[in-house]
Chain A
């Protein structure tokens, strides 16, 4: 399969700080999730492939063409930036039609495309309201609309689901999948694993400017499965709770916190443990104050992956 977006030995410095570290990557058709914690280099990579920044070393191409200072490439690219910023003194309609002017369309075509884009994101009723009066979710949707209004073959979305309510997220996820079904390439960045999981099984994990893992989510999950989950339970009688679980073969290790109220369990079968925990608590009548997973986050995954 020919790569749609290709980065070869891509590196970027901000002064003395290394933003991207020798990244070689190919993104193919379909939806690819770019996953990483804040400061990992996702936005830097997004800015490089959308020509907002120039690589210090290496190259980045879109369909074989260099991006930096090559405006023709953007005829087929739609970019949805992360920042919640707009030309605030215009309506949604004026914003879309204004930006569509830059593609060389005739007036009637601009209006058609703008109407369709507003329809897609469900903002037709609010098209004549000033953007400064839009809610957070509406602003996110109009941002998405400007990225798709010119029917690009490649969509680059930087944290598109941020600020949306669960219903809004569901709608947008459905939209993005629709674009994939039309044969377009979509690159989505996020720091929230479940959001990416809902969109695609193909991810690129990035951390400290380096690619840590690339491939299908089950493959990455397997890496996580090799490392036991930690679950911390704060209760009135942690020892009684521990006694109930000591015979459970899925539990690797149990330790007690110095406060005398915390039990920390390490297990490979997290979901199974939670299921059992609810039953045990009710059965034994133990009061539980708090349940948390100290390592159930992307940071923990990356720490494992980088061998910390």
Chain B
């Protein structure tokens, strides 16, 4: 018996191939979309200013005699060691710039998907929730690592080149590990932090304000509470303060606030755990309309 199929319809007989890294297309697209925003490129370039400044500092430290005429009264102004790197990584301006870059470039990672109801599109492919989140988090990891691990390691390399010897490395062999460790901490924390806030609303503009606002507000709250209660433990309310505490610990330095670093690690871990819980609830393939 003759069969006539619907006009234009043809059945695909192929086999779906499982990808080794199913989250990679999400990451690649997220990075490309961030760079498509005109002003993002400027902000991203600007975020390298602290690393450039510290690079100049490295140079000056090795050429101090040449700069002595400008530094009357000081013997050795710049002493480059773990403290130098700790200051670089935990200074307010670098953290502020990282938040700015992430807010602008990655704020819409989940918010835009929620706005355009794209989650169903993602999960109708052979992609798990874990792959989706890894893909999104990898976009954040890309930007954070480029602003932290990369310039950090480059600074160490330039220190060795300017010094003309490996003495610095032999003196502090653990320093590259500290750089990588702190970069990893910032990556994981900011990954969870940004994705948590991005999943809270469909409005990318509101998410941008949240990413910035929560960061700034936590610091304002710390200032207020410390003025009232006069205890350094109020630093645990501040996101940048906790990051600075953790950074000082990882670089073997005295923490800026008289609070054991383990408490700061606990606060940061709690934020990541909260984020994981919220993301698990928010990221689902079925949209519930109330």
A291 near B290: Cβ-Cβ < 8 Å: no
Chain A residues in 8 Å Cβ range of B2:
281-282, 285-288
Query: Is B4 positioned at the interface, with any CB of A under 8 Å from its CB?
Result: yes
Query: Is B289 positioned at the interface, with any CB of A under 8 Å from its CB?
Result: yes
Query: Is B5 positioned at the interface, with any CB of A under 8 Å from its CB?
Result: yes
A291 near B7: Cβ-Cβ < 8 Å: yes
Which chain B residues numbered 1 to 57 have a C-beta less than 8 Å away from chain A? 1-5, 7-10
Chain A residues in 8 Å Cβ range of B4:
278, 281, 288, 291
Contacts A132-B289, A133-B290 given; indicate if A290 touches B3 (C-beta within 8 A): no
Chain B residues in 8 Å Cβ range of A290:
5, 7-10
Chain A residues in 8 Å Cβ range of B9:
290
Query: Is A56 positioned at the interface, with any CB of B under 8 Å from its CB?
Result: no
In the assembled complex, the Cα of A278 lies from the Cα of B3 at a distance in Å of 11
Chain B residues in 8 Å Cβ range of A288:
2-5
Q: Determine the main DSSP class of A at the interface with B.
A: mixed
**Further pairs besides A285-B2, A289-B10, A290-B5: 17, Cβ < 8 Å:** A132-B289, A133-B289, A133-B290, A282-B2, A285-B1, A286-B2, A287-B3, A288-B2, A288-B4, A288-B5, A290-B7, A290-B9, A291-B4, A291-B5, A291-B7, A292-B7, A293-B7
Tier of interface size on chain A: 10 to 19
- Chain B's closest residue to A134 (CB) is B289
- Chain B's closest residue to A233 (CB) is B4
Q: Chain B nearest CB: distance from A135 CB in Å?
A: 10
In the assembled complex, the Cα of A102 lies from the Cα of B5 at a distance in Å of 53
In the assembled complex, the Cα of A284 lies from the Cα of B7 at a distance in Å of 21
A292 near B3: Cβ-Cβ < 8 Å: no
17 A-B contact pairs sorted by A residue (CB < 8 Å) = A132-B289, A133-B289, A278-B4, A281-B2, A281-B4, A285-B2, A287-B2, A287-B3, A288-B3, A289-B3, A289-B10, A290-B7, A290-B10, A291-B4, A291-B7, A292-B7, A293-B7
- Chain B's closest residue to A135 (CB) is B289
In the assembled complex, the Cα of A289 lies from the Cα of B3 at a distance in Å of 7
Chain A residues in 8 Å Cβ range of B290:
133
When each residue 262-290 of chain B gets 1 if its CB lies under 8 Å from chain A and 0 otherwise, what string results?
00000000000000000000000000011
Chain B residues in 8 Å Cβ range of A286:
2
Contacts A282-B2, A287-B3 given; indicate if A292 touches B8 (C-beta within 8 A): yes
Chain B residues in 8 Å Cβ range of A292:
7-8
Chain A residues in 8 Å Cβ range of B1:
285
In the assembled complex, the Cα of A207 lies from the Cα of B265 at a distance in Å of 62
Chain B residues in 8 Å Cβ range of A291:
4-5, 7
